[in-house]
């Protein structure tokens, strides 16, 4: 199908982010590479304890998704205010499964982009290094809106999270049958709970469709394995474990317009390429999220 429906205030689209909040998301990100660390050693040979000044996976993922939400708000901002081109859900899964917006949006499965823009839980002030114009770097203070905070405990009930996304999007498509197909992005660090079947739940989710195409499911595997990152894979060959291979099979092929965007960003993609990333650092994760949420036809 075409994936070409116009995205407008009268015909909005929808994003749902599924965020792994299991106990293993407490694992650290290597401060040098931005990739996950196992508990024995960092990528540059330092001990896990020595690397503890870095962020956890949960913190890195929360920052990436909060940044994306901020960018979506900016994308939809016009002179008269924020136009509701999108509705967005953020579902966490770990000790519990459910919406993880904070503040005024707490408990909402989907929120309009104007609600999101007008209701951050808080706005942090952070520092970043910028060019001082004389060959050096200086610290610049920036405002960083926060809509949800990192948390990590419990198991990995991925099947339940995918089922919740299916229920949410069944209702959405019933109200918006001609919308640009909803996009679900699942960010996880690995194995789903045993005795569950996330692949079947993913099949059911991807089978949902409106008149413009099926729901798209993309997966990002934030691994602690020491292995080269693989972004926008077109085969499960080369993926180092069965969990990465399963997530690849669960992922939707990239629509043509996304392949074009990925090619423009320097990725080597084909018609077999799926919305899947393995072992990417946080910078690559943000780029993946940007490509996966960039509209083809916004009016």
Give residue-wise pLDDT tens across range 137-160. Answer: 787 888 999 999 999 999 999 999
* Residue 167, token pair as written in the block: 């229920």
In this prediction the pTM is 0.89
201: enclosing H helix or E strand: helix 198-207
Lowest average pLDDT, out of 44-53, 90-99, 136-145, 202-211, goes to 44-53
Contact 5, 169 (CB under 8 A): no
Average pLDDT over all residues of the chain: 88
The second-level CATH assignment, the architecture, of 13-119+148-293 is: 3-Layer(aba) Sandwich (3.40)
- Check pLDDT > 80 for residue 1: no
| 120 HSE (CA, 13 A, CB side) | 15
State mean pLDDT over 163-177.
Answer: 98
Confidence of residue 56 (pLDDT cuts 50, 70, 90): very high
What CA–CA distance (Å, rounded) separates 11 from 42?
47
List of residues 6+ apart from 79 with CB closer than 8 A: none
Question: How far from the centroid of its chain's Cα atoms is residue 138's Cα?
Answer: 30
Calculate mean pLDDT across residues 115-124: 97
Predicted confidence at residue 47, as pLDDT, reads: 40
Non-local (6+) Cβ contacts of 294 within 8 A are 258, 261
Query: For residue range 255-284, what is the model confidence (pLDDT) as tens digits?
Result: 999 999 999 999 999 999 999 999 877 777
Contact (Cβ atoms closer than 8 angstroms) between residue 183 and residue 293: yes
pLDDT band for position 43 (cuts 50, 70, 90): very low
* Token pair belonging to 145: 């809106």
In this structure, what DSSP letter does residue 181 have? P
Q: Where are the domains of the chain?
A: 13-119+148-293
280: nearest Cα among 236, 249, 239 = 239
């Amino acid at each position: 199908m075409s994936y070409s429906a116009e995205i407008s205030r009268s015909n909005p689209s929808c994003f749902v982010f599924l965020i792994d909040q299991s106990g293993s998301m407490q694992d650290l990100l290597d401060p040098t590479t931005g990739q996950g660390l196992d508990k024995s050693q960092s990528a540059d040979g330092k001990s896990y304890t020595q690397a503890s000044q870095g962020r956890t996976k949960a913190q890195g993922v929360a920052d990436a998704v909060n940044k994306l939400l901020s960018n979506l708000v900016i994308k939809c901002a016009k002179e008269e205010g924020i136009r509701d081109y999108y509705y967005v859900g953020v579902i966490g899964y770990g000790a519990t499964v459910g919406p993880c917006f904070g503040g005024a949006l707490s408990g909402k499965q989907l929120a309009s982009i104007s609600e999101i823009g007008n209701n951050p839980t808080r706005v942090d002030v952070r520092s970043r290094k910028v060019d001082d114009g004389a060959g050096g770097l200086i610290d610049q203070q920036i405002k960083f809106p926060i809509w949800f905070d990192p948390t990590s405990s419990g198991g990995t009930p991925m099947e339940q999270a995918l089922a919740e996304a299916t229920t949410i999007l069944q209702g959405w498509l019933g109200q918006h049958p001609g919308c640009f197909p909803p996009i679900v992005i699942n960010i996880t660090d690995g194995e789903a709970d045993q005795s569950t079947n996330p692949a079947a739940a993913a099949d059911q989710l991807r089978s949902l469709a409106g008149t413009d195409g099926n729901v798209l499911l993309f997966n990002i595997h934030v691994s602690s394995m020491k292995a080269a990152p693989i972004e926008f894979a077109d085969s499960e060959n080369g993926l180092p474990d069965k969990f990465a291979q399963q997530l690849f099979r669960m992922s939707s092929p990239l629509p043509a317009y996304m392949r074009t965007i990925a090619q423009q960003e320097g990725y080597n993609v084909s018609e077999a390429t799926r919305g899947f990333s393995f072992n990417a650092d946080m910078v690559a994760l943000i780029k993946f999220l940007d490509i996966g949420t960039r509209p083809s036809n916004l009016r």
